[in-house]
């Protein structure tokens, strides 16, 4: 079985974009892959964090992983900082990377724009990400398109090290989402739905109550021509809602267009509220059940143990190949 690795940062507001773009794929991959899903808390501290909130967010994401259907009997779920190999391998890879290539990462450029000096952790963020992936001899990394450049860097680092020390790393492949899987902000469909947007009605968080879901959808930006049709260029708002409806209800967009021929946006939105509430309610209920349970702690501890076992083997090989240690 091929090995899959992916990670999500422990931040609040995990939304339906994250679900449809990433988490849903994670669940589907479990059936025919050996999957490892990580909560990347060490990536989170590349920007300032409140320690209490960080801890809560780690557990939130862990509980969400399970609530959406990641099965700890099939997959390994763990917290990055619980496995020391990530930091260890990150340093080794740092020494195989160049400031030039890291300076070219668009995420770093965006986050350090107009600043004379940026946190070093933001600069080496992609190296830690490469370490996450290479530590587990990963074959496939399911991620959003925005991570393409980071995956390319990971492949470059692995290939570079293998050139010098053959057989050190498995060179992984990215598995990217289709453009259609991009969910846009409800209040401004020219932007991606995001965890950090100030307007809470710009997104539907996975744990939103039905009343909040209703409000956000009913307020969503549309247009004035009143036709329910997919046309991302001229009708980005309705197209985004159609997309959400389609993936949540597993109905082709064409069928929805037919269903809503001659109907108004109000009816369409009302039905979308129902579809969304129906899709998210079981997730929210499972989340509530597990979030404060001892079971969650046990799963994360077991996960870290299993991950560590694989990580140690890789680190042994890496250290041997580099001539490190005794």
Which stretches of the chain bind ligand TRP, using CB under 6 A? 5-7, 9, 40, 43, 129, 132-133, 141, 143, 147
Which residues are annotated as catalytic?
111, 192, 195
Contact positions with ligand AMP (CB under 6 A) in 5-44: 8-9, 17-18, 21-22
Cβ of residue 108: shortest distance to ligand TRP, in angstroms? 12
Nearer to ligand TRP, 22 or 283 (CB): 22
Sheet containing 76-79: give its strands across: 76-79, 33-39, 2-8, 140-143, 173-176
Nearer to ligand TRP, 155 or 235 (CB): 155
Cβ of residue 191: shortest distance to ligand AMP, in angstroms? 9
Contact positions with ligand AMP (CB under 6 A) in 245-284: none
CA angle 152, 157, 159 (to 5 degrees): 95
Backbone angles phi, psi at 184, to 5 degrees: -95, 165
Contact positions with ligand AMP (CB under 6 A) in 62-121: none
Q: Which residues of the chain form beta strands (DSSP E)?
A: 2-8, 33-39, 76-79, 140-143, 173-176
Cβ of residue 325: shortest distance to ligand AMP, in angstroms? 35
Residue count (the chain): 326
Q: Which does 86 bind (CB under 5 to 8 A by kind): ligand TRP, ligand AMP, none?
A: none
The whole-angstrom separation of Cα 152 and Cα 136 is: 17
Cβ of residue 17: shortest distance to ligand AMP, in angstroms? 3
Contact 224, 164 (CB under 8 A): no
Contacts of 39 (CB under 8 A, 6+ apart): 7, 8, 9, 10, 58, 61, 62, 65, 77, 78, 79, 80
Q: Which does 314 bind (CB under 5 to 8 A by kind): ligand TRP, ligand AMP, none?
A: none
Cβ of residue 181: shortest distance to ligand AMP, in angstroms? 6
Q: Which does 319 bind (CB under 5 to 8 A by kind): ligand AMP, ligand TRP, none?
A: none
Of 274, 260, 182, which is closest to residue 226 (Cα–Cα)?
A: 260
Question: Is residue 189 part of the contact set for ligand AMP (CB under 6 A)?
Answer: no
Written as one string, the DSSP assignment of 158-213 is HHHHHHHSTTS----EEEEPPGGGPPBPSS-TTSB--SS-S-GGG--BTT--HHHH
Report the residue closest to ligand AMP, judged by CB.
144
Cβ of residue 145: shortest distance to ligand TRP, in angstroms? 11
Q: Which does 160 bind (CB under 5 to 8 A by kind): ligand AMP, ligand TRP, none?
A: none
Question: Is residue 181 part of the contact set for ligand AMP (CB under 6 A)?
Answer: yes
Nearer to ligand AMP, 168 or 202 (CB): 202
Nearer to ligand TRP, 7 or 17 (CB): 7
Instruction: Sketch the per residue contact string, 139 through 168, with ligand AMP: x for CB under 6 A, - otherwise.
Output: ----xx-x----------------------
Contact 314, 136 (CB under 8 A): yes
The whole-angstrom separation of Cα 264 and Cα 252 is: 19
Report how far apart, in Å, the C-alpha atoms of 167 and of each of 36, 137, 158 are. 22, 11, 10
The whole-angstrom separation of Cα 278 and Cα 137 is: 38
Give the interface with ligand AMP as residue ranges (CB under 6 A).
8-9, 17-18, 21-22, 143-144, 146, 181-183, 192-193, 195
């Amino acid at each position: 079985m091929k090995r899959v690795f992916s990670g999500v940062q422990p931040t609040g507001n995990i939304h339906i974009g994250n679900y449809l773009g990433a988490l849903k794929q994670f669940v589907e991959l479990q059936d025919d892959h050996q999957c490892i899903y990580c909560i990347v808390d060490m990536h989170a501290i590349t920007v300032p964090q409140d320690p209490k909130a960080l801890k809560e967010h780690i557990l939130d994401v862990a509980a969400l992983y399970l609530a959406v259907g990641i099965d700890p009997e099939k997959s390994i779920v763990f917290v990055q900082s619980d496995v020391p190999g990530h930091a260890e391998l990150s340093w080794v890879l740092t020494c195989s990377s160049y400031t030039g290539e890291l300076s070219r990462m668009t995420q770093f450029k965006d986050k350090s724009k107009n600043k004379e000096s940026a946190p070093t952790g933001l600069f080496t963020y992609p190296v830690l990400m490469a370490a996450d992936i290479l530590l587990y001899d990963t074959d496939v990394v399911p991620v959003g398109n925005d991570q393409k450049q980071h995956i390319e860097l990971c492949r470059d680092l692995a290939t570079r090290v293998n050139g010098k020390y053959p057989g050190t790393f498995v060179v992984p492949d990215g598995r990217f989402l289709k453009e259609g899987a991009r969910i846009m902000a409800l209040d401004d469909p020219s932007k991606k739905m995001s965890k950090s947007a100030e307007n809470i009605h710009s997104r539907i968080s996975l744990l939103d109550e039905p009343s909040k879901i209703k409000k956000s959808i009913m307020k969503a930006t549309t247009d004035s021509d009143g036709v329910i049709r997919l046309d991302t260029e001229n009708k980005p708002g309705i197209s985004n809602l159609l997309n959400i409806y389609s993936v949540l209800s597993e109905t082709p967009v064409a069928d929805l267009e037919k269903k809503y021929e001659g109907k108004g946006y109000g009816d369409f939105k009302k039905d979308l509220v129902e579809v969304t509430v129906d899709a998210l309610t079981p997730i929210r209920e499972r989340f509530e059940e597990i979030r404060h349970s001892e079971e969650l702690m046990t799963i994360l501890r077991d996960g870290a143990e299993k991950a560590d076992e694989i990580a140690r083997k890789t680190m042994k090989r890496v250290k041997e190949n580099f001539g490190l240690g005794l």
